[in-house]
Amino acid sequence: MSAGRLEGKVCLITGAGSGMGAEATVRFAREGASVVACDMNLEAAQRSVQTAQAAGGKAIAVAMNVAKEAEVKAAVAAAVKAYGKLDVLYNNAGIFPSDDNSVTNTEEKVWDTVLAVNVKGVYLVCKHGIPELLANGGGSIINVASFVALVGCSVPQDAYTASKGAVLALSKSLAVQFGPKGIRTNAICPGPIETPLLTAWLFKEPAEKAKRLNRIPMGRFGKSEDIVNMALYLASDESRWTNGAAMVVDGGITSNYF
């Protein structure tokens, strides 16, 4: 492979078994990164790795539940053992259960599960990953938030919304804490993306699909590559002065009043 935008970098990606995480695993590897593809579904992560390797890239699969500290710690250790360092933490893993609604009718167990994966997971990866970035002289943290962290929604998904707002706020705090030490932290705020997380239920409901699609000025849902293109920039040295930003990639949905 010819030198790419991520040549020589070691990138840990969570939720690497499907959707945006799988796309990122392949794209990052193609751009020269050594990728540590983490997912609680090891077989899914292995499929992403196989695709990356078939394209000539370097990648390993690691089983990891981001809400379990011991598993996160072990995954970070596995990354350093395999490649000697860490340059990028890509916190992509997230859940969006169909029974997440308004605070008035969302079950406590749903709330706890969403916050455990979407927020605690970011905290744990950063807790154990940041020391490795510091040991390597700096790096990049990429946190996947959401457009719902920026606007309210009349069709509520309150646990998810709260979790992504927390990810955005945490990203800014990390940017201020660790920017002086060479670590830049940024959040990506995607609009609705055609991933298994969304299509598993939304595309089965034509009225619900149309309701959301009508809000997007570009006239389509996003693709995984639309978000990974931004993540690729944030992982690369091209973004060396981008820190604490909320990168909105949403087809214009947050700009649409009517």
Can you tell me the mean pLDDT for 111-126? 98
Question: Over pLDDT 70: what percentage of the chain?
Answer: 96
Across 42-51, 72-81, 215-224, 244-253, least confident range: 215-224
pLDDT digits (tens, 9 = 90+) for 95-107: 999 899 999 999 9
Average pLDDT over the chain reads 95
Quickly list DSSP for 212-232. HHTT-TTSS-B-HHHHHHHHH
In the numeric block, the tokens 């940017």 are attached to 175
- Structure pTM? 0.95
The pLDDT value recorded for residue 202 is 66
CB 242, CB 235: distance < 8 Å:
no
Q: Closest Cα partner for 193 from 22, 24, 20, 18?
A: 20
**Known catalytic residue: 123?**
no
Question: Over pLDDT 90: what percentage of the chain?
Answer: 86
**Contacts of 180 by beta carbon, 8 Å cutoff, 6+ apart:** none
Domains of the chain: 10-247 (3.40.50.720)
The pLDDT value recorded for residue 74 is 98
Bridge partners (DSSP) listed for residue 126: none
Distance CA 122, CA 15 (A): 11
The pLDDT value recorded for residue 201 is 63
- Confidence band for 42, pLDDT divided at 50, 70 and 90: very high
Distance CA 216, CA 34 (A): 35
- Confidence band for 197, pLDDT divided at 50, 70 and 90: low
pLDDT digits (tens, 9 = 90+) for 151-172: 998 889 999 999 999 999 999 9
Which residue out of 83, 90, 123, 160 is catalytically annotated?
A: 160
